[in-house]
Amino acid sequence: MNINYESRYASGPGAVKKYDTSELRKEFLIQNLLEPDTLNLVYSHYDRFITGGVVPVEKSVELSTIDPLKAEYFLERRELGIINIGDTGTVTVDGTDYVLNNKEALYVGQGNKNVVFSSNSGSSPAQFYLNSTPAHKAYPIKKIGTDDVEVIELGAPETANARTLRKYIVNSVVDVCQLQMGMTTLKSGSSWNTMPAHVHDRRMEVYFYFDVPEDQAVCHFMGEPQETRHIWIGNKEAVISPPWSIHSGSGTSDYTFIWGMAGENLDYGDMDVCKINELR
């Protein structure tokens, strides 16, 4: 079985201020997450948040444990959120099948030993995007279909930030220890996500951009509000946002992204919003 994993250590704002383009990309950008028959995982030391991807094509792929966890199995002390951005696939948890269609999600609580990903068709496979965080309690497995999510309309066409935000794995939809996940889709003609920008020093966050048309890109902004930097991001790439950093992007077209968070609280609305004209 193919597994790739890497660790990313946490950097403070003072260090990041001095990073050049390649250092910023090396520390925060996550590329090549979705590869055939491979489990790709990036372990961030911000809140020990794992970002991963699996695309089962020729065979099913197991969520194997990795050495940094020093655990007998992956979910021994962790919980997991899965969103399928591909065609229909199945997640089998300790022998029970959960079928996930496009844009459906599954929450898998701590203590489940065997998690296996498969696609209904190798020629149009499922593409499972994964987020995992440490957990202190075993909550039940729950599938979240597109009708189960909480939907919020945000922004306006006049400010180029009209978008639909869908909350999938939040504590009003599913019992969780600390993981939160959702999906935001830009309306055609709008380009800005998360503008006005915000920080939440109590939680880190990872954005995974997809449905970015070929030859287009998203310019993602990070850093302290008065000391911002940018990273150009392509389709199906993710970016780690430290708790002290803004996280906001502007695309050269419309696009969708999955946000995932972990940390001190489960309060989605706990954000310090930045004044747009004070960003630097």
Ligand X SMILES: O=C(O)C(=O)C[C@H](O)C(=O)CO
Binding residues for ligand X (CB under 6 A): 154, 163, 165, 182, 184, 193-194, 200, 205, 247, 259, 261, 271
Cis before 196 (ω within 30): yes
Toward ligand X, which CB reaches closer, 236 or 247? Answer: 247
DSSP 237-248: EEEEE-TTSEEE
Q: Is 45 annotated as a binding residue?
A: no
Toward ligand X, which CB reaches closer, 6 or 264? Answer: 264
Beta carbon of residue 154, minimum distance to Zn ion (angstroms, whole number): 12
Residue 48 touches which of ligand X, Zn ion, none (Cβ within 5-8 Å per kind) = none
- At residue 20, the 3 state secondary structure works out as coil
Query: Could you give the angle at the alpha carbon of 47 between the alpha carbons of 45 and 50, nearest 5°?
Result: 70
Taking alpha carbons only, the member of 239, 246, 249 closest to residue 190 is: 249
Adjacent-strand bridge partners of 164: 153, 185
Toward ligand X, which CB reaches closer, 85 or 261? Answer: 261
User: Who contacts 124 (Cβ-Cβ below 8 Å, separation ≥6)?
Assistant: 86, 87
CB 142 within 8 A of CB 136: no
Instruction: List strands edge to edge, sheet with 150-154.
Output: 29-30, 237-241, 203-210, 256-263, 180-186, 163-169, 150-154
Beta carbon of residue 198, minimum distance to Zn ion (angstroms, whole number): 6
Beta carbon of residue 154, minimum distance to ligand X (angstroms, whole number): 6
Give the footprint of Zn ion on residues 170-199 (CB under 5 A). Answer: none
Q: Is 150 annotated as a binding residue?
A: no
Toward ligand X, which CB reaches closer, 135 or 261? Answer: 261
Q: Is 230 annotated as a binding residue?
A: no
Toward ligand X, which CB reaches closer, 48 or 247? Answer: 247
Q: Which residue is nearest to Zn ion (CB)?
A: 205
Beta carbon of residue 117, minimum distance to ligand X (angstroms, whole number): 25
Residue 163 touches which of ligand X, Zn ion, none (Cβ within 5-8 Å per kind) = ligand X
Distances in Å between the alpha carbon of 40 and those of 132, 167, 187? 13, 25, 30
Question: What is the tally of helices (H) and strands (E) in the chain?
Answer: 2, 24
Residues annotated in a binding site for Zn(2+): 198, 200, 205, 247
Residues that bind Zn ion (CB under 5 A): 205
Residues annotated in a binding site: 198, 200, 205, 247
